[in-house]
Amino acid sequence: MPHKFPNDFLWGASISAHQTEGAYKSDGKGLTVQDTRVRDNHEIADFTIASDHYHHYKEDIQLLAELGVQIFRFSISWARIFPNGRGEVNQAGLDHYQDVINECLQHNIQPIITLNHFDLPQTLEEIGGWSNRETVDAFKDYAITVFKAYGQQVKYWLTINEPNVMLLVDQKILGKQIPIDEKYQQFHHLMIAEKYAFKLCHELVENGQIGPVPNISLVYPATSKPLDNQASLYFNSVRNWAYLDFSCFGRYNAVFSDYLKQKGVTITFAPGDEALMKENFPDFIAMNFYTTVTVEKPTDKNNMTEGISDQQSEDIMDWGFYKGVTNPYLKKNQFNWTIDPDGFKTTLQTLYDRYHLPIIITENGLGAKDDLTEDGKVHDPYRIDYLKQHIEQCLEAIEAGVDLFGYSPWSAIDLISVHEGISKRYGFIYVDRTEKELKQLARYKKDSFYWYQKLIQTNEIP
The nearest distance, CB 203 to ligand BGP, in angstroms, is: 27
Helix or strand run (H / E) with residue 10: strand 10-14
Residues within window 132-191 making contact with ligand BGP, judged by CB under 6 A: 161-162, 165
Sketch the per residue contact string, 250 through 289, with ligand BGP: x for CB under 6 A, - otherwise. --------------------------------------x-
Q: Determine the residue type at 187.
A: F
Question: By three-state DSSP, how is residue 337 classified?
Answer: coil
What Cα–Cα distance (Å) separates residue 139 from each residue in 115, 130, 190, 227, 318? 9, 10, 10, 41, 32
Under 8 Å between Cβ of 361 and 405:
no
**According to CB under 6 A, which one of 159, 215, 240, 247 is a site residue for ligand BGP?**
215
Closest to ligand BGP by CB, 339 or 395: 339
CB of 319 to ligand BGP, least distance (A): 25
Which residue, 123 or 417, is less far from ligand BGP as judged by CB? Answer: 417
How far apart CA 316 and CA 304 sit, in angstroms, is: 10
| 249: number of Cβ within 10 Å | 15
Q: How far is the CB of 300 from ligand BGP (least distance, A)?
A: 30
**Rounded Cα distance, 230 and 235, in Å:** 9
374/361 Cα distance (integer angstroms) = 34
Query: Between 386 and 425, how does the x/- string for binding to ligand BGP read (CB under 6 A)?
Result: ------------------------x------xxxx---x-
| 308 touching ligand BGP, by CB under 6 A | no
Provide, rounded to whole angstroms, the least separation between the CB of residue 407 and ligand BGP: 16
Q: Which amino acid is at 292?
A: T
Kindly name the residue from 203, 363, 392, 437 that is annotated as catalytic: 363
CA distance 345 to 340: 9
Interaction between residue 363 and ligand BGP (CB under 6 A): yes
Q: Which is nearer to ligand BGP, 26 or 333 (CB)?
A: 333
Question: Bridge partners of 99?
Answer: none
Q: Which is nearer to ligand BGP, 410 or 444 (CB)?
A: 410
| Strand partners of residue 359 | 285, 404
Q: Does 16 bind ligand BGP (CB under 6 A)?
A: yes
Closer Cβ to ligand BGP, 149 or 286, answer by number: 286
Q: Is residue 37 within the footprint of ligand BGP (CB under 6 A)?
A: no
CB 119 within 8 A of CB 77: yes
* C-alpha torsion 442→371→18→80, nearest 10: 0
* 358 touching ligand BGP, by CB under 6 A: no
Contact 18, 77 (CB under 8 A): yes
**Residue 134 annotated as catalytic:** no
Q: Which is nearer to ligand BGP, 286 or 395 (CB)?
A: 286
| Residues taking part in catalysis | 363
Residues that bind ligand BGP (CB under 6 A): 16, 19, 161-162, 165, 215, 288, 363, 367, 410, 417-420, 424
